[in-house]
Amino acid sequence: MNTVFKNARILTMKPGEDVFEGSLYTLNERIIYVGPALDPEGERKVLPETYSADRIMDCEGNLLMPGFKNAHAHSGMSVLRSQADDMPLNDWLNIQIFPREARLDADMIYDATQLSVLEYLSGGITACFDMYLTPESIARAYRDMGFRGVLCGNVNNFSSSVEYMDEMYDKLNDFDPLISYEIGFHAEYTCSDELMRSISELAHKRKAPVYTHLSETRSEVEGCIERYGKTPAAYLDSIGMFDNGGGGYHCVHMTDEDIDIFAGKKLHVITNPGSNTKLASGIAPIKNFLDKGINTGIGTDGPASNNCLDMFREMFLTTGLAKLREEDAAVVDAMDVLHMATVGSALSMRLYDADILDRDKLADIIMIDLDQPNMRPFNNIPKNIVYSGSKSNIKMTMIAGEILYYNGRFDDRYDIERIYSRAQEIIDTIH
């Protein structure tokens, strides 16, 4: 569908480009023009001769910007929301989560993922880097919802295998234009040395990056040092795990050496402040990452540990906790955080066509409702999004040129009541 957005404020997230007033045109799944408003003569100059708009939207001065990218989540855990709260990570995992996850099948995870997609759309999230148990059913859920998903391997000592991940790499990278797949494993502490070396070999064979939970808790780091005499980042680097890039989720307890490894290998950090706060895992050294030029994205983590999938809350926590950690209100500027939630996350997910609003980029666009009290006055709209914005400000979410959420309503393709009822049935079954 071809859409023309007129009378918009636009934040492209291009370096150095401020909010401006103008128009944006889409052609199928791509943007073909974004810039100052066009008169008919201007349209003839910049648009294809055969261009025809299926829909013209008056933005009424509201803001168009790239959608948020959730760079780390376990979407299928939505049915476990509020099932394991107020517990430390190890007990949360081993006593509550792992036993219930063992009862989930692929169809349950398909339905649970759809529930998370609804939450993503209502919060302006247009893509998710999803690490969970049954990648094929997750891919189907995303495709059927019209949602963009980057799936990540979840190999550990207890589930999946390197051979299966190798198979999924081919299958899911050729599954649907909305879907891609990356090599990954759960964490150093849930994988044997032999298994991790096999994953490293696969990454070298594929010339592909690798992603994993990394240095999330102090005990995780101490355990790795006991096993290998190195921190998780240093150990994984020593076996060539990151020779083709990749990154770490959480990265809370990072040494100077770890940070230098990430900078040298051009690895990505994906911070998850909501989950790290709720599980008392610690505060990531975001300022240090930025000072070293490390690309940093933001993720919500799973809805069983956060428990909400809300990029506005994650952005505020990213900057607020960094200021507390450094005892400096000037660090981790709101613009840096907005960059993390859009461009930084997109780069970490290798969504190079979905980072900014520009000609030929994917039409993964959100509209921020500025006609609400928390958005007034217009002193600094981008910073206001980080410090004052909320999910209630999401007026529209578009993915690949399709409007999937608008004015508080989801697209008619979704059977909302079925998704809600299935979530309840699933938790009643596995409780």
10 Å Cβ neighbour count for 158? 11
What pLDDT does 131 receive?
Answer: 98
Using an 8 Å Cβ cutoff, are 76 and 112 in contact? yes
Using 50, 70 and 90 to split pLDDT, how confident is the model at 354?
very high
DSSP 188: G
What pLDDT does 201 receive?
Answer: 98
What pLDDT does 25 receive?
Answer: 98
- Give me the count of residues in the chain: 431
Average pLDDT over every residue of 244-257: 98
Strand pairing report for 20-27 and 3-10: antiparallel
Using an 8 Å Cβ cutoff, are 173 and 143 in contact? no
Give the residue ranges of DSSP H helices in 75-134. Answer: 89-91, 98-101, 106-122
- In single-letter form, the type of residue at position 120 comes to Y
Average pLDDT over every residue of 224-228: 98
- Judged on CB neighbours under 10 Å (0-12, 13-18, 19+), 10 is buried
Closest CA to 292 of 318, 335, 348, 254: 254
Closest CA to 318 of 306, 343, 336: 336
Q: Which residues pair with 366 in a beta bridge?
A: 65, 397
Average pLDDT over every residue of 172-190: 98
Using an 8 Å Cβ cutoff, are 22 and 4 in contact? no
What pLDDT does 88 receive?
Answer: 80
Please report the domains of the chain, with CATH numbers, ordered by start residue: 3-66+353-410 (2.30.40.10), 68-348 (3.20.20.140)
CA 279 to chain centre: 20
Instruction: Give ∠ CA 264-348-247 in degrees, rounded to 5.
Output: 50
- In single-letter form, the type of residue at position 247 comes to G
Average pLDDT over every residue of 406-416: 98
Closest CA to 261 of 286, 240, 282: 240
Using 50, 70 and 90 to split pLDDT, how confident is the model at 357?
very high
Kindly tell me if the per-residue pLDDT of 431 is higher than 80: no
Tens digits of residue pLDDT in 277-330: 999 999 999 999 999 999 999 999 999 999 999 999 999 999 999 999 999 999
Helix (H) or strand (E) holding 169, with range, is helix 162-172
How close are the terminal C-alpha atoms of the chain, in Å? 43
Closest CA to 105 of 65, 151, 159, 67: 159
Q: Is the pTM of this model over 0.95?
A: yes
What pLDDT does 429 receive?
Answer: 93
Instruction: Write down the number of H helices and E strands in the chain.
Output: 17, 17
Strand pairing report for 125-131 and 55-58: unpaired
- In single-letter form, the type of residue at position 302 comes to G
What pLDDT does 180 receive?
Answer: 98
Distance CA 179, CA 175 (A): 7
Using 50, 70 and 90 to split pLDDT, how confident is the model at 84?
confident
Q: Which residues pair with 184 in a beta bridge?
A: 211
Kindly tell me if the per-residue pLDDT of 89 is higher than 80: no
- In single-letter form, the type of residue at position 276 comes to N
Strand, helix or coil for residue 422: helix
Using 50, 70 and 90 to split pLDDT, how confident is the model at 98?
confident
Using 50, 70 and 90 to split pLDDT, how confident is the model at 94?
confident
Tens digits of residue pLDDT in 131-150: 999 999 999 999 999 999 99
Give the residue ranges of DSSP H helices in 265-310. Answer: 273-278, 286-291
What pLDDT does 246 receive?
Answer: 98
What are the Cα distances from residue 32, in Å, to 23, 61, 98, 148? 11, 21, 46, 20
